[in-house]
Chain A
Amino acid sequence: MLKSPGKLNLQQQEQRTGWLLLAPALLLLLLVYVYPILRSFWLSFYSQNLGTELKPLFAGLDNYQRMAIDGRFWESLANTSFFTLVSVTLELGLGLGMALVLNQAFRGRGVVRTVALLPWALPTALIATTWTWIFNDQFGVWNDLLQRLGLIQTGVNWLGDPGWAIWTVIAADVWKTTPFIAILLLAGLQSISADFYEAHALDGASPIQSFFQITLPLLLPQIVIAALFRFAQAFGIFDLVQVMTGGGPGGATETVSIYIYATIMRYLDFGYGAALVVVTFAGLGLAVLLGAWSLSQLRRGAS
């Protein structure tokens, strides 16, 4: 067959067009996602801070060694883990409940779904100011409600107390992101055929039994996906904490991202900040891989 060198066959031409159409998106993703991570990785082997006049000097594993004895890093990691674990668990529980309710047939369901979606759509930084106001120690409505109900005698300094502050941030996060989980789970619920339930009910199963024997197993992939998404987002939580407590009081709500931000923007310790980025990335990546693996197992089991 004769093939003229200047002409490509149809498939090659199509592929070339394909790559051309894909190129801008890929380049942008490489620039904004891949380059910063690689750059941090490279920089984490350098000292670049006020002690080096902000010039990068090769430092080997110094930054990582320093991290091992950096009490503040471990505390922020513990805070982040606690925050992530508690808020994602609460959100999954409440989100599942919300999805079950929104999946029922009742009058005005569309309106309720719209209202339930609202918290998710609003800017986190503004919501953070709202919750800061609600938890205000002097004029906050939360203290007032609890006092009226007789649960507390005097106002609690929710944001200023090292023990309570993390719970205020968790409350705000749960309020804001439960709708997101509910939406994902609702889509999963809607894809479960009603035939399953009818057959199960004919076998004499109670609604609670069918929840545990049908709904939960079939919903599991969605639950894992939602948990994975939320886990990654919660682990990187920044805006909510930054606006509500700034990491305080006394570091009680300092998360890893707040610490990274301070290391870079306040201390100008770029090398060490880079090492913190790398370790966080690695930890997160490991957890996500674990989640993705369990998801693929689930899907394999399902099909």
Chain B
Amino acid sequence: MANSARSTAPRLGLWLAVGLILLLSLAPILWQLLTSLKTTADITAIPNVYFPRQLTLEHYIDIFQRQPFLRYMLNSAFVAVVSTLLCLLIGTPAAYVLARLKLPGEQIILTGVLIVTLFPYILLFLGLLELVRNFGLANNYLALIVPYTAINLPLTILVMRSFFQQLPHELEDAARVEGYSTAQMLLQILLPLTTPALVTTGILAFIAAWNEFIFALTFITRDSMKTVPVAVAQLSGTAVFEVPYGALAAATVVGTLPLVLLVLLFQRRIVQGLTAGAVKG
């Protein structure tokens, strides 16, 4: 029988593999967490001290007091939230149109949307740099919000489109019979239904915006306006006599915390969104 064939040996192998996945996925993050709680003496001890002999919060206090880390977090949150909302606002109607209405050239647009997801940001960088310079957007969050909205649009359109395609047509037909306009129908009938899909794409867009590096590195030169990834990356070389390993670890932990929470809460949705965006597109 199939079940008896699955005897203990393969089962053991499975558990080993599961253990390995857990270990490899968590080890670097946990190591950073441990580092952030160690005293500087423990951090730079040779041979390495694995478990802190004494727990300390000094590095966390350090990044919030000596560095404006709260500020960086708020900057990141602001840019990510605004660009995510904009992206949903612009992307959802577009996705609806591409799912339901028969427009000439629709296939070309869809192919184009798919193709641009493959563009590395470095290819956009020079052109955007010129735009930022010419419009005087240096040290203006628009210089980040506009590109972030755009880079999240393709995924939003693809995910939302595949969602709309799964909705039964009858709803809209009924709405039309009732005399709703397209916009009214979108807002009053479809929007409530789409909330779960919006949350899914919103999370993906938020993660991408929170993590973006190259535009944030270049278009914001004022320290008080920097986002978390750039602020942390630039923290490493700025101590006088040593690299502030403890502070770096604490900053990494704090900077990743919002995303860890998102993953813990919305793992299923993220997976759905990713597969809908990539596979069905």
Point out residues on A near B: beta carbons under 8 Å.
14-15, 17-19, 21-22, 24-26, 28-29, 31-33, 35-40, 43, 97-98, 101-102, 104, 106, 110, 112-119, 121-134, 136, 138-139, 141, 144, 147-148, 175, 179-180, 183-184, 186-188, 198, 201, 222, 225-226, 228-229, 232-233, 235-239, 242-243, 256-257, 260-261, 264-265, 270, 273-274, 277, 280-281, 284, 288
Contacts and interface: CB of A to CB of B under 8 A. Distances in A.
B112 A29 contact: yes
B75 to A, nearest CB: 14
B125 A36 contact: yes
A123 B259 contact: yes
B21 A123 contact: no
A169 to B, nearest CB: 14
Nearest to A42: B127
Contacts of A235: 120
Closest 10 CB pairs of A and B: A236-B120, A36-B127, A32-B150, A125-B229, A25-B94, A21-B93, A257-B122, A239-B213, A232-B118, A187-B275
A133 B35 contact: yes
A186 B116 CA distance: 25
Given A126-B232, A133-B32, A106 B18 contact: yes
Nearest to B120: A236
Contact of A22 (B15, B98, B116, B278): B98
Nearest to B255: A126
Contacts of A179: 25
A288 B213 CA distance: 24
A125 B252 CA distance: 9
Nearest to B23: A115
B126 A43 contact: yes
Contacts of B177: none
A133 B245 contact: yes
Interface stretch (B41-49, B59-67, B163-171): B41-49
B24 interface: yes
Contact of A26 (B31, B94, B252): B94
Interface string B111-140: 011011111111111111111000000000
B188 interface: no
B146 A264 contact: no
Contacts of A131: 28
A118 B127 contact: no
Contacts of B147: 32
A98 B262 CA distance: 22
18 contacts: A21-B97, A25-B90, A25-B93, A29-B112, A29-B116, A114-B263, A124-B211, A125-B232, A126-B232, A129-B252, A139-B44, A141-B48, A201-B2, A229-B278, A243-B236, A264-B125, A270-B126, A280-B122
Contacts of A31: 131, 146, 150
B214 interface: yes
Interface residues of B, number: 95
Nearest to B96: A21
A144 B150 contact: no
B158 to A, nearest CB: 12
A112 B18 contact: yes
B115 A288 contact: yes
Contacts of B239: none
Contacts of A144: 47-48
A77 B214 CA distance: 20
**Residue picked from A179, A239, A288, most chain B C-beta under 10 Å:** A239
Contacts of B220: none
Nearest to A260: B122
Contact of B252 (A36, A38, A113, A126): A126
Given A129-B233, A187-B279, A225-B279, A280 B22 contact: no
B274 A232 contact: no
A256 B128 CA distance: 18
B271 A113 contact: yes
A302 to B, nearest CB: 14
B218 interface: yes
Contacts of B2: 198, 201
Given A32-B151, A201-B2, A281 B118 contact: no
Interface string B8-27: 00000011011001101110
B174 interface: no
A262 to B, nearest CB: 11
B146 A32 contact: yes
Nearest to B276: A187
A280 B121 CA distance: 12
